[in-house]
Structure 1
Amino acid sequence: MSIRVLLADDQALVRGALAALLRLEPDLEVVGEVGDGRAAVAAARSLQPDVVLMDVEMPVLDGLAATAQLTEQAPAVRVLVVTTFGRPGYLRRGLQAGAAGFVVKDTPARELADAVRRVHAGLRVLDPALASASLLAGDSPLTEREGEVLRAAEAGGTVADIAKALHLSDGTVRNYLSSAIGKTNTRTRAEAARQARSYGWL
């Protein structure tokens, strides 16, 4: 019996390439393709695939949030996160969300197909370089609020803009930014946001 696979990636070309590669495997069946996290959750609930190949950075709902929803709503479905961005924080957050595996998109086709099989068999599959980087980077030092303020700061608005968007006072936003800058060992909020993003903490 073939392993039913759902692909979730916002880039149609990547999605098509993954589908074509997986369809070459006699024991894998691609049952659906979607372009955002919310559609992935809905499709997984209706199509009941065995494994979802989940991209991280997608519109509407990102892949990590979608993984958390799927784990809760369809626990029998296994999620294999496949990402271009090998950020250590993504691995940690993905596993916390319930992902069964984590590989990068330049994984050779044969290894990707094997990762799908292993995840379906109940094993955990982790990209070795990413796993070691994740151990070195450690947990995110940022609180949820600090992360939220840094994400808002990435848009480049003023403290007043951020405060208004997040319904906080200017002083509170300044405190969160100052704390985030200290924790990331950077000098400006732009640097702090870049560093946190590069580690996958945002």
Structure 2
Amino acid sequence: MIAYVKGKLAFITDDTVVLDVGGLGYEIFCANPYKFQNKLHQEMLMHTYQHVREDAITLFGFETEDEKYLFTKLISVSGIGPKSGIAILSGAEPNKFIAAVEQENEKFLTSFPGVGKKTARQIILDLKGKLSGLLIIGEENVGEGPDKNYDALNEAEEALQALGYGPKEIKAVMPELRKMEGATTDEMIRKALSFFIKN
């Protein structure tokens, strides 16, 4: 089992990063690859989970051990495979996901791609009470979906497209915009433009 990979970040795609380790490139699937953009061409360490099937060996990468642990718990739930687990992690911060499980918030959980009511109930049944010590969630309110500011995020994304920014650039800035709880569309657009200038 490959527990982590340490090497130079060679390049980033929509779904993966590639780490160069002594001339060998490891392709690693991540929830939000572009959040590592500031480490491009620098050495970094990526915590990894190795998934083995008859026809493929795939690496999934995480910034922290906590994220990796949450991923392994997710894929232990019947009906959730590695791709679904990564999709869930890309749509919500770990603390909000854990809060949703503890609060039995099925509406939040079913807002993720591939998660229906049956799978949401299974997640709650299998994981409730097993994740609360992973992160400090306090009085976290998970809202009605992965992003409380869904409308503002949507409008900001459409505005950036209209300004000529491509899918890769927009995907790179979305994790930053998701952190702006309570922000207006204009504030998010200004934040995005500032991000593009710096990066």
TM value normalised by structure 2: 0.28
Please identify which structure carries the higher helix content.
1
Structure-1-length-normalised TM-score: 0.27
**Larger % of strand: which?**
2
